[in-house]
Amino acid sequence: MKMLSIDSSGKTAAVAVTDSDSLLAQSFTDSGFTHSQTLLPMVDRTLKLAGLDITQIEEFALTAGPGSFTGLRIGAALTMGLAGDRPCRPVSSLEALAYNYVSEDCVIIPVMDARREQVYTAVFESDGNGLGRLMPDQVITVQEVCERLQDYGKSRQVFLLGDGMYLFEDIASNIPNVCFAQGKKIYIQGLGVALASENAESVTADKIKINYLRMSQAERELKERQKK
């Protein structure tokens, strides 16, 4: 099954083309340009690297939240436009990120900056062969994540990764068994989206739903004004 996987949930973007368990090609960018500028050219380039065109793709996967509201919408819109009536698999951004360390025997805590001293996070564990979920996706404070790091770090190695890592550099560096991700493993890769899609429900493109986890700033401000 030839699949095109797309991530646009954060400041980076990633695309992969896979055929069942085989990675044919993948691309990643941290260029600083908006996803509306980079994502479609990345898809074209990755398909060419894989030796395929879009008509040969049988299924699509995408990160459907949590993450950047604008980025998620761009990724969803592009997937809907490309997929047509072909099946799509929306996956958790945090789960796709956790697959960066699926080959380690460890606990994995992805953190994506949600602003206001909060992060989008979840907890996973790996035995070196597969990923298991220990906590659902949620929005919690930096301090609450540190409490989980301390708890899991008592007995196992814990990997912290994601664009929210910088929030923990000072307060988590002294917690036993906590390791900070390095290089591209900090960010979601296209292959991680493809791997996470194995646990996701297949839907038609028009049924893709984004999991924002919380209201946008504009929605929060409107709610506050309505209370007055």
Pick the CATH number of 2-93+188-221 from 3.40.50.12780, 3.30.360.10, 3.40.50.300, 3.30.420.40: 3.30.420.40
Question: Does residue 160 sit in helix, strand or coil?
Answer: strand
What's the CATH superfamily of 101-186?
Answer: ATPase, nucleotide binding domain (3.30.420.40)
Task: Quote the tokens at residue 170.
Answer: 């000072």
Predicted local confidence at residue 174, as pLDDT: 84
Predicted local confidence at residue 219, as pLDDT: 47
DSSP state letters, 175-211: STTEEE--GGGGS--HHHHHHHGGGSPPB-GGG----
Domain boundaries, the chain: 2-93+188-221, 101-186
Predicted local confidence at residue 215, as pLDDT: 61
Segment-wise mean pLDDT, segments of 10 residues, the chain, 228 residues = 97 96 95 88 98 98 96 97 97 98 97 94 96 96 94 94 93 89 96 96 96 66 50
Tell me how crowded residue 18 is: count the other CB atoms within 10 A of its CB: 24
Predicted local confidence at residue 218, as pLDDT: 44
| CB 187, CB 28: distance < 8 Å | yes
Query: Does this chain's domain 2-93+188-221 share its CATH topology with 101-186?
Result: yes
- Identify the H or E element spanning 152: helix 142-152
Predicted local confidence at residue 2, as pLDDT: 98
For the segment 80-114, what is each residue's pLDDT rounded down to a tens digit? Answer: 999 999 999 999 999 999 999 999 999 999 999 99
